[in-house]
Every structure is written in structure tokens, then in C-alpha cells.
Structure 1
Amino acid sequence: MPELAYVNGTITPIEEARVPIDDRGYQFGDAVYEYIASYTGRLFAIEEHLDRLENSLRALAYPPIPREEVRDAIMSIFQKAGIEQAGIYLQISRGVAPRNHAYSRQLQPQIIITVRQLPEIPQAHVTQGIHAITVPDIRWGRCDIKTVQLLPNTLAKQQAIEAGAQDAIFISPDGIVREATSANLFIRSGDHLLTHPLTPNILPGITRAVLIGICQELGIDVREQFFDRDALLAADEVFLTGTVTEVLSVCRVDDRVIADGQPGARAKKLRGMFEARAGKHP
């Protein structure tokens, strides 16, 4: 099936899509985005993604964009692409104008969408877990807004890859564990799970919220509280959650093996529950 792009209402093959050189998303990182997964031909948690998108648009004082317009654009390109397990990238920039830090309130937001095959998590990462490194958190102060300003994330991810790891975990200046480069983070300590509270310092992850809901249904104690690197390294389990990540165990952090070095039973169970909730398998 074709991989397609949508640019302000026009759908083309991705390689033929063009955006203006003066788009503020390109020149200033003045854009927000969402990434939505589909499983067996069904978009997962689309309304939750649209809720977060609207929060991001409001936080940056973008002009109102009708929710139905965005949903219809997503559905039109998704249906035309016909990719059952797809990754839908949606980006909305403030608009197009000659380069200037200040902007006109009259700018027309630009809507760009791409549909590609959803990346598969390597099976070895699922069965054996991954290795992550810790890095100082140098991101801006509003990580709760899902903007395209991801340079610190990409640099941290590249640092991890070059160190032979698969991801990086951000640590605040005062030693608090925050999240990974594109995923939220949980640890298991005894019978309960810990994850960073929702503050401007982390993204309010959709998968994070789904997983907390599953835990509540199962009677698993989840505590949204701060914890430090020592607690991370001493955890019985560490795992990441995200749209592409789903639920993925971290079995080594820096040079420290987590517990017995294998994906834990809690993460395995939650991954299975998430896959069922998302309808990943027919």
C-alpha cells in the first residue's frame, strides 16, 4: 500500500509532497505534532491524541482549528493509504511568513500528515529488554506541550546509540528521573509502580494513561511521584511506554543491570494487556 502525505488538503505520494520554505515549523520549530498508531486497520486512541493536540495548540496560542477538520483529514489519508498497521504523523505549524521572530495573529496554520508503515519493535528488544543510558535533561521547560522542538531528544538518542544502547533517560538537574527520549518511564519497586507525575517537565503520554488505567482495573498500585537515579538503578523492573514503544522493558541502565537482567513479569503482563486493548492482534 502507498505511503502518503497530506499538505493542507492535498494528498500525494510522500516523495512528491512539498512545504513552503518560510513555514515557521521549519524555521523556528513553531509547530506541534501527534503520532497515532493503527492496529488491524483501526486507529488507536485517536480522540485522546486529538485532546492532547488541542491542549498543545491552546498552550501556544494558535488560532482555533475545528477538531472535525483535523479528524477528517487524518481519516481521509489513512483510508486512502490502506495500511493496516500504520504510523500517522500529524504536524500543525503556526503558518507561513517571511522569517521574523514575531508573528502575525492572522497567519493560517499549516496541516501536514504522513502515513507510513508502523515501525516494528525488534523481537529481541521485546524478549530480552533494552539498554538505556542516563543523560542530563537540557530540554526546554514545557515538555508537556508536544512541539517539534526535539533537538535535545535526538542528541540524547544518538548518544545512546553510539554508546551501544537503545535509548536515553533524562535526569533533571536535581537528580529526578523524568522520561526517555520518546517514551514515559515506569519502575516497579516491590508491589507498586512509580512514574513521574504530570508536570511541565514530561509529556502526558497517551500510552502512559492507558497503562495506568489498565493497572487500576487490575488493582495494581501506581504512584505518580518523583524518584531519583538510585531508585531507578535499584528497581525490580524498569519499562518504557509510548505509541511506538508500547511497553518495553529496560534491563540495563548505564553499567548497572536491573534486577536479574531480564524483562520482568509485570511488564510482560502489561504489554500483553496493552496489545489486547489496542487490538494489535486480530
Structure 2
Amino acid sequence: MPRISYVNGHYTRHSQAGVHIEDRGYQFADGVYEVIVVVEGRMVDADLHFARLERSLREIRMEMPFGVDVFRLKVAELLRLNHLRNASLYIQVSRGVAPRNHQIPDEIQPAVVMTVRPLAVPKREWVKDGVSIITVPDIRWKRPDIKSVSLLPNILAKDVAVRDGVYEAWQVDNKGMVTEGTSTNAWIVEGRSVITYPPENAILNGVTRLALMKIAAEAKIKVEERPFSVEEAKGADEAFLTSSTAFLIPIVDIDGNRVGNGEPGPVSRTLLEGYYSHLWSSDA
């Protein structure tokens, strides 16, 4: 069965899908994206994802190419054509096609690409035993809150992590504070409090991050939105990372330093159980 993708109003074989060579997303990274988990045919936290997509577009002076209801219909058809019920959905909206020029054209049609693939859940050993991470300087632009397709600093940092044999790299600003991972939000635990960077321009306000804050409140776990240093993270009781596709993965080692007792802790486990319930809930 061929894989089917969506490109600018057409459903086409993935192997034959393509965009124009002068698409500004291709030439300038002039576009934004979302990744949404689909469970039993239902987009998890869809309202939050589409709200963030609309915000990202607004921040780069674009509008939604069509309404959320139309998006939902197109996604449903894409899932049907690919015979998928549990999937990872990628949506990309670029400014569109125009002769290469830094100036934004007055009249231009946005380009929309959507792909789906079978949902890959985090490996059992990552969740059960935890993972190791490293820290690297945060060299990104000053608007990571926009979910831009411009991810070169992120992929370079991720490549360093992979070459070092660890799962992720936490990015550190010039004040020594951890902002976020290359594709994940960063959290530490002190007692019954979880700490994560505030939703300012320095981080992407992750949808899983938002869901987890609600889960923490229901479990009577305090949430502190404030910066934390690398040294504070190394001395924390627990640490973990979150994203739409990673869910929640405990961290047991930072830069070769054991976190807590070197095993996933009780707060991380409680939040993970709550997130699994949220993920498979029809209300998500």
C-alpha cells in the first residue's frame, strides 16, 4: 500500500510529493509547523495544537490557510487513505512560492503540506530505566516560542547528543540557565514540586507541557515556572523531558552526573501515569 501525503490541496503518493523549488519554506525557512499525535483516529490536544499553529503564523505575519474544521476534514481523509488509526501527524505551512527575495511579497498563497506515519511510542527501556542527556550552549534565535521550520541549531545540538551516545541535549543560555531540549521541554523535580522554564520567548510552550501542568495540579504536585541552572538540575531529586511524541521520559544522568538515586522517581512516574490516561482519554 503506497504512503499518501497532502500537498497544497492534493493527496498524492509520498514518493512523488514535492513543493516548488522557490517555496519560501525551502529557501528561507519561512514557515511554521506542528506535530500532533493521533490515537484511535483522534488528534490528541488538537485545539491546543491548532491554537499554537495560529499563533506561530500570526507572529510571522501570516494567517491560517483555512479554518480548523477544514484542517480536521483534511486530516481525517489523510488518515483514511493511509489506513492509520494511531499516527504521528506533521503539518507545515510556509508562506508560499515567489521569486527569491528577502522582502515578503504582498500577494502570495501559503503552501500546506501534511504527512502521517505510524505512531512510534518511546522505547520501554527509556521509560523504565530513564535516559542520559548532555548540556550545550543555546545558540538559537531569540524567538523559539514560534514553532518555525528553521531548526538548524536544534539539529546540530541533537547530533552532538547522538554522537555522545545520549538521548537529548538540554540547551543553556548565557546565564547558565537551562531553556529546553532540542525537541523537548525540560523539567526538574525538587520534593513534590516540578520546575520548568516559564513560557516566554526563550522556549516553545509545548502542548504536552501544558497538559502535564494540568495533570500535576490534579495530582497535587506543585508547578514552578522559573529558570533553573545546570547545577540545580544536577542536584535535583528527579528530572524528565516531555514532547508530543516522547510523552514523558525520565532523565537519570546529566553530563555524566547521576540525578537523584539514578532511577526514575515517584513524581515522574505519577505524572507519566497521568499523561498515559490523558493520551488515551476521549476528552484529550
TM-score bin, normalised by smaller chain: over 0.9
Q: 1:3 touches 1:114 (CA, 8 Å); kept in 2? A: no
Residue number in structure 1 paired with 2:222: 221
Does the residue aligned with 2:126 lie in a helix, a strand or coil? helix
111-120 or 50-59: bigger deviation: 111-120
- Work out whether residues 3 and 117 of structure 1, in 8 Å CA contact, stay in contact via their aligned partners in 2: no
Deviation (angstroms), 1:64: 4.3
Q: CA deviation at 1:2?
A: 5.0
Aligned length: 281
Is 1:81 the counterpart of 2:99 in the alignment? no
Q: Which runs of 5+ in 2 are unaligned?
A: none
In the other structure, the counterpart of 2:244 is: 243
Give the letter for the 1:6 counterpart.
Answer: Y
CA distance in 1, matches of 2:109, 2:235: 50
Which amino acid letter does the alignment assign opposite residue 58 of structure 1?
R
Structure 1 280/116 Cα, relative in aligned 2: closer, same or farther at 3 Å? farther
SS in 2 for 1:65: coil
Q: Say if 2:79 and 2:85, in contact at 8 Å, map to a contact too.
A: no
Cα deviations across residues 64-116 of structure 1 (Å, max 9, x unaligned)? 43323333322221232221220000000001011111121211000000011
Aligned counterpart, 1:9? 9
Q: Secondary structure at the match of 2:276?
A: helix
Q: For 1:251 and 1:22, locate their aligned partners in 2 and report how far apart those are by CA, in whole Å.
A: 45
Query: Which has the higher mean CA deviation after the structures are superposed, 45-54 or 59-68?
Result: 59-68
Matched-pair identity in %: 38
Aligned residue for 1:276, secondary structure, equals helix
**TM-score, scaled relative to structure 2:** 0.95
Runs of 4+ with >6 A deviation = none
The DSSP-based 3-state class of the residue aligned with 1:161 is helix
1:5 shift after superposition? 0.7
Q: SS in structure 2 opposite 1:125?
A: helix
Could you state the TM-score of these two structures normalised by the residue count of structure 1?
Answer: 0.96
Q: Give, in angstroms, the shift of residue 155 of structure 1.
A: 0.5
Structure-2 separation of matches of 1:155 and 1:173: 18
Whether the 8 Å contact between 1:40 and 1:280 is mirrored in structure 2 is no
CA contact (8 A) 2:169 2:182 kept: yes
SS at match of 1:92: strand
Aligned to 1:42: 42
Deviations 1:187-237 (A, max 9, x none): 101221111000000001000000000111121100101111111100100
User: 2:63, 2:261 → 1: CA distance?
Assistant: 51
Question: Structure 1 CA distance, aligned partners of 2:251 and 2:218?
Answer: 24
Paired residue secondary structure (1:169):
strand
